[in-house]
Every structure is written in C-alpha cells, then in structure tokens.
Amino acid sequence: MNRTVLFMVALATVGCFALTGCEQEQKTAKANPVAVKKYTQTTTLEGVVSNNEGLVKSGRVEATDESGRLIAHAVVDNGYYSVEIPANTVLPIVLTFSSELNSEKLVAAVIHNTITKYEINPATTAIAKAAKAMGGYTHDHMIRAAADTVHTPDANKTTSGWRGDPTTQYGGWH
C-alpha cells in the first residue's frame, strides 16, 4: 500500500512539473511573436513586366497591401516600372500589373524588405497565387510555391532538393 501511495505522489509531482513546463513553453511562444517586416524608409521598387510574348509596352503597376488597399502606383514604360513605397509600409506588398490592352493581370509578391528589384510575369503570378492559396505570402509559402510551380532544370536539382535559392524573387531561374 505504501508503495502505491508513493507511486501516486511521484506521478502527481511529475505531472505537475510537466504541466508547469507546458504552460511556460506556451508563455514563451506568445512572448516571441513573428517580427513584422516593413520598409523603414521610402523605398523604390523597380523591375520589368513581361508576358509570354516578351516585355509589355505599357500599363500600370499598383502596389497594394494584402487586403487590396492601394499604397502606390506607377506607369509601365516599354516594360519597365519604378514605384516609390512610403516609409513604414508593412510587408507583404502585392505588385499587380494591368493594362487596358490586355485583360490579363500579372502579380508579384514582395515579402523581403531588403530586395528592391521584382520581375512581374506569368511565373511570378503563378507563384504568388499558389502561396496565397497555401495561406498567405510568407517566405516558406513562396519557396514551396516556387518549387512546385517553376520548372527546375535537372542540372539544378539534388537528391535533397534545391541547389541554392531556386529563384530570384521567386520568379524563375536567373
């Protein structure tokens, strides 16, 4: 009987410590939220817009937040755009190309505040759509979407996955 009581006391004590550890782990997880990325100063994003026929001649690039609120816009001139993003703009940003001449909208997602050059093309559009379907424009979703969407030459594959970063701004092999 004494052994049974000692065993029960020991089990209760271990359970109490385990619960305390779990509660502490949960508090730690809540205390370390994911850092919000943003542009701390006015930043110019630039690049080229192309479709399956090559550079687009004209159109408009809009920079919006994930909910679709317009942040800035720019005119496309012979395939090139440059859009100024205000300081303290939180990422992700969605760059959307549209044109009166073409109903096709092309998209690129901006998730890193250190990259300023973004191509907008059918590949970036497919990757952005796939990442959004996975739950949003995060680094992990963009990498997975790029791996699943963009054709990877066999010479750039290894048995463990990619050899280096598979894309430039998640838009194709460069």
SS3 51: strand
Residues 116 and 150 in one domain: yes
Q: Which one, of 105, 126, 109, lies nearest residue 45 by Cα?
A: 109
Q: Please report the pLDDT score of residue 86 as a whole number.
A: 97
Record the pTM: 0.70
CA 34 to chain centre: 14
Encode pLDDT of 126-141 as tens digits. Answer: 999 999 999 999 999 9
Residue 168 within any structural domain of the chain:
no
Is there a single domain that holds both residue 21 and residue 50? no
**Which domain range does residue 2 map to?**
1-33
Q: 93 and 26, same structural domain? A: no
What are the tens digits of pLDDT across the range 53-75? 999 999 999 999 999 999 999 99
173 within some domain? no
User: pLDDT: is 105 or 164 the higher one?
Assistant: 105
Q: Do residues 99 and 156 both lie within one domain?
A: yes
What's the pLDDT at 103?
A: 80
Average pLDDT of the segment spanning 77-96: 97
